[in-house]
Amino acid sequence: MDFKLLPKIELHCHLDGSVRPQTVLDIAKEENVELPTYEMEQLRGLLEVPEDCTSLVEYLNRFNIPLTVMQSKSALRRITYELLEDAAAENVKYIEIRYAPVLHVNKGLTLEEVIESVLKGIKDGEADFEIKANLILSCLRHRGPESAMMVAEAGRRFLNKGVVAIDLCGAENEGFSKEYVEVISKAREYGYRVTIHAGETGYGSNVVDAINLLHAERIGHGVSIKDLKEAYDLVKEKGILLEMCPTSNIDTKIVKGYEDHPIYKFYKDGIKVSFNTDNRTVSNTNVTRECEEINEKVQISLEEYKNIYLDSVNASFASEQVKEELKKYI
């Protein structure tokens, strides 16, 4: 099976983890941003996660350099456009891009400008490539609920104009959901859909909380439900889709290798899953590679691939009309 040729859906892709190394270099030169190196291969080495990375916290350090060149309207627009170009080139037909607007205000942009610039990049990309996209606004857990509320407010006027959902991300402590009940409930009132990073680094209970307290419709990662029956049963019973990112989980040492990744086992047991990159540059991957690596271990049939594709379409935050178009590809 040639995964590159098959249509694909990506529901979990961070913009700041998916910047082309060449673009980091270009923007740094244009905007006089200081980089630790201007030599391409060395730079690539600093943007990608090293093999000896030991944890999610260490993995997240790889975002420091790209963030320095993501502080202007034109840079955000270009980087988003290029992400759509890269995804379309491997036959991704629909992508939900996510990023944390609060990380892009260091040089004076407002949160609204940060959001608008990425939406412009999406429009440009949709016009030039055979791909559709929507935007998820991520809120950083370590910045607290007030910061998340600011993001929800800033994105409000873009709802259904490209912005579709809200997310919580970053390092994961046990029980984080309790603090965010009010904010996420308010965001849902405004019309945001909800996906939450949970159960990435060992706490299945966080998945239970994200579903029961925050009404998450999808879960980012959710690997840890394998060790907590209550979480596993809840995800399965409610038909919550897990946005799974195998390479990223290996990079952060959450699973040992592709053979240990639970994505296919979950699927076979009736849990809805989708294939995602998390971060194309940091994890040096794309959706094609994610499918290929897992397929090499378990041999996914075309029928199974189709089911995963359709589950991904159905769990996406796209409009009904776009969902119908996406279903025609397979």
Q: Which is nearer to Zn ion, 7 or 17 (CB)?
A: 17
How crowded is residue 170: how many other Cβ atoms within 10 Å of its Cβ?
Answer: 17
Tell me, by CB under 5 A, how many residues bind Zn ion.
Answer: 1
Q: Shortest CA distance to 141 belongs to which of 100, 95, 85?
A: 100
Q: At what angle are helices 111-128 and 144-155 packed, to 10 degrees?
A: 50
Q: Is 200 a catalytic residue?
A: yes
Shortest reach from residue 27's CB to Zn ion, in Å: 23
Q: Which is nearer to Zn ion, 48 or 278 (CB)?
A: 278
Shortest reach from residue 12's CB to Zn ion, in Å: 6
Site string for Zn ion, 246-285 (x = CB under 5 A): --------------------------------x-------
Shortest reach from residue 93's CB to Zn ion, in Å: 21
Shortest reach from residue 171's CB to Zn ion, in Å: 12
Q: Which is nearer to Zn ion, 25 or 243 (CB)?
A: 243
**Cα first-last separation, the chain:** 14
Q: Which is nearer to Zn ion, 16 or 278 (CB)?
A: 278
Asked whether 240 and 221 are in contact (CB, 8 A), the reply is: no
Residues 52-111 that bind Zn ion (CB under 5 A): none
Alpha-carbon gap, residue 236 to 228, rounded angstroms: 12
Q: Which is nearer to Zn ion, 251 or 278 (CB)?
A: 278
CA atoms within 13 A on the CB side of 63: 19
Q: Which is nearer to Zn ion, 86 or 278 (CB)?
A: 278
Look-up of token digits 């456009």: 81
**Vertex 113 angle, CA 112 and 115, to 5°:** 65
**What one-character DSSP code corresponds to residue 159?**
B
Residue among 10, 96, 172, 200 flagged as catalytic = 200
Q: Show contacts of 52-58: CB within 8 Å, 24+ apart.
A: 53/251, 53/252, 53/253, 54/253, 55/201, 55/252, 55/253, 56/171, 56/172, 56/200, 56/201, 56/252, 56/254, 57/171, 58/252
Asked whether 327 and 289 are in contact (CB, 8 A), the reply is: no
Shortest reach from residue 169's CB to Zn ion, in Å: 6
In the complex, residue closest to Zn ion by CB: 278
Shortest reach from residue 86's CB to Zn ion, in Å: 17
Alpha-carbon gap, residue 83 to 204, rounded angstroms: 31
Catalytic residues: 200
- Binding residues for Zn ion (CB under 5 A): 278
